Amino acid sequence: MEEKSYKEYLNHITTFIFDVDGVLTDGTVLVTTSGELLRSMGVKDGYALKCAVNAGYNVAIISAGTNEGVKLRLEGLGIKDVFLGAHDKIKQFETYIKTNNIKSENILYMGDDIADYPVMKIVGLPSCPQDAIPEIKGISKYISHKKGGEGAARDVIEQVLKVQGKWFI
- Of 76, 68, 65, 75, which is closest to residue 23 (Cα–Cα)? 65
End-to-end CA distance of the chain: 38
Q: Is 88 annotated as a binding residue?
A: no
Q: Is 19 annotated as a binding residue?
A: yes
Q: Is 21 annotated as a binding residue?
A: yes
Q: Which residues contact 64 (CB under 8 A, 6 or more apart)?
A: 84, 85, 86, 87, 89, 115
Contact predicate 107/123, CB 8 Å: yes
Q: Phi, psi at residue 127, to the nearest 5°?
A: -140, 165
Binding residues for substrate: 21
Binding residues: 19, 21, 112
Binding residues for Mg(2+): 19, 112
